[in-house]
Structure formats: C-alpha cells, structure tokens
Amino acid sequence: MTGGAGYIGAHVVRALQQQGMGAVVIDDLSSGLQQFVPDGVAFVEGSILDTELVADALREHHCDGVIHVAGFKYAGVSVQRPLHTYAQNVTGTASVLAAMELTGVSAMVFSSSAAVYGTPATELVTEDSATHPESPYGESKLIGEWLINDVARSRDGFRGVSLRYFNVVGSATDEVYDSSPHNLFPLVIEALLSGRVPRINGADYPTADGTCVRDYVHVGDLARSHVAAAQALLAGRPLRPAYNLGSGEGLSVRQIMNAMAKGTGWDFDPEIGPRRPGDPARIVADGSAAAADLDWQMRYSVSEMVASAWSARKASGPG
C-alpha cells in the first residue's frame, strides 16, 4: 500500500483490515502522518522512487498486490511544479511497477483522478468520455494509467485497474482527517477555526444557485471500492481498465457551505470572490459501472459528510 499514511490511503488500510486483509504501508511522510497508520500495520518510511526499497517491502511481506495511492495530488500547484509532479506521479508509478516486476507481484489498483478528463464536453462524465487533462497533475495521472495498461499488455498475468474520482471528503474514523491545504472541506473548517469567513470562487455560473457543481464522495465509500477492486483482481474477475467513482448528481459549492454552517454550528455567510480561471460550471461523474463491479455506493448524505469531517478535525486537537 503506497501512500498509506495519507488521508485517503489510511482509510484504505482500515478498509482492508475490515475485510480481513493485511497491509504494509510505504510512505515518505511528505504529506502523510505516521499516526494515521493503525497500530500493528507494518510501516516502511521511504520514497516510491526507490525501486529497491519497494521491492524489498514486497518480498519481505509476501505481498499479493499493490494499492498505489502515493502521489503529488495538487492540480493547481502542479502548474508551478511540473517536474516535481511528473517525478512523483509518473517516475514514481514506473518505479512501483518495476518493483512489482522484480518480485512477481501482478495486481495493481491505481488511485487516478477525474482530472484526466479536463473540462469535459458533457456535464456527466463516463469512462468513455474523452481525456483532455489541463494540468501537469491530470497529465501525470493519465500517463500513470497508460503505464499500467502497457505493462498489462506486455507482462503475462499482470492486471491493473485505475479509479478516477473528484473531491474526496469526510472521515470514516476520528483517527484520520483531511489535512490538505487545498481541499474545500479543510479550507472551510480551518477558516472557521481561525475566525475567517470561508470564500466561494464565483457565484454567477449557469447552475441552480450560481456556484460550481462537483462530485463530493465520502472517503469511506472510496476506500471500500479500492478494496473491492483489489479483491476482484486477486479473484481473476474481469474488470474495465478504469472506473469513475462518482455521485451521478453532484453538489454545489453553496450547498456545501450551507451544510458546513449547519454541521459545525458556525453561522456564516460566505464571501463571494471572482471565478477562478478554467473552472467549469458543472462536472459530475457517472459511477454506474463501479456500482456494478466495485461495490460503489454513495452511502453518506452531505450532512453526514460534513459531520464526519468536523468530528475528525475536532478530535485532532485545537485549530
């Protein structure tokens, strides 16, 4: 499990445990926190760019497959740091694949991104929608998918599946919270805790309330489908090369803000700023294929998403 000390990865580790599956975590702690790794789970501190380190971990722990979540995931920052983004996400993925080849490990679940679609031509994105990434981050994730597909064609017995998703929110345990400085939920929560008013970037879009509509998926649901994908690969069940983990409907930024005010008890009226360049009005992914194959469901309401995120953040200590 690469990136298992991060927000998403640590939830996947717990989902594996719930299914009676063991895990070993490799993480360089550049953004993850070691305290997110559950007690009793083997932890290797190091970079996925170190192929021998990854290979040694796979050998020592007799791993059957890899869930590859590690990566540099900030689309906006990737524009300023393209070489770093490519090193972590493209060279890093190639390194993990090389380690798997060295050790005979032949199943990979890849944490991809809906950023591979860029600004889609349709409001509802399917797996067959054209890929036009608009940032080094989105490009690097698409290249990661290509690498996995190329290895699957060249190496007998190797199978991989890529999971594409937009905004991951909430917490399935108070032991793990979203500490990202770029994601909407922690941005709103940290603003409230520091006495600032949260901000909406643009309220004049052609949507029901004028704010952007996006997929917001709960990290607990996401983790379950990562595990379901791993189980399907190990069982030899047929899978698509890639799946969307999407809501099919989406939520607006205004709806999120209203839910935040209600769920945290902080009554606020968000500031309205200008649009951010390149933000489309509405992007929502169709998750029906993943629902059929990967136990994908939206099990949490928006209020439950907010409540779980708020509870985990409060449990982590003062702002």
Name the DSSP letter for residue 142: H
Strands 213-214 and 42-45: unpaired
Q: 189, 313 in Cβ contact below 8 A?
A: yes
| Half-sphere exposure in the Cβ direction for 9 (13 Å, CA) | 33
Q: Residue ranges of the alpha helices (H) in the chain?
A: 7-18, 51-60, 75-80, 82-86, 92-103, 136-154, 184-193, 219-235, 253-264, 288-293, 302-315
Q: Note the pTM of the prediction, 2 decimals.
A: 0.95
Calculate Rg over the CA atoms of the chain.
19
HEC sequence for 192-208? HHCCCCCEEECCCCCCC
All CATH 3.90.25.10 domain ranges of the chain, comma separated, are: 184-214+248-315
Give pLDDT tens digits for 145-173: 999 999 999 999 999 999 999 899 999 99
- The answer regarding whether domain 7-168+216-244 maps to CATH 3.40.50.10470 reads no
What are the catalytic residues?
137
Q: What is the mean pLDDT of residues 13-25?
A: 97
Mean predicted lDDT score pLDDT of the chain? 95
234-246 pLDDT per residue, tens:
999 999 999 999 9
CA dihedral 7, 12, 15, 16 (to 10 degrees): -140
pLDDT at 319: 59
Question: Which fold would CATH assign to domain 184-214+248-315?
Answer: UDP-galactose 4-epimerase; domain 1 (3.90.25)
pLDDT tens-digit map of 287-297: 999 999 999 99
pLDDT for position 166: 86
Q: Name residue, tokens 């449990």.
A: 315
CATH 3.40.50.720 residue ranges in the chain? 7-168+216-244
Q: What's the rounded Cα separation, in Å, for the pair 66 and 47? A: 15
Per-residue model confidence as pLDDT tens digits over 29-46:
999 999 999 999 999 999
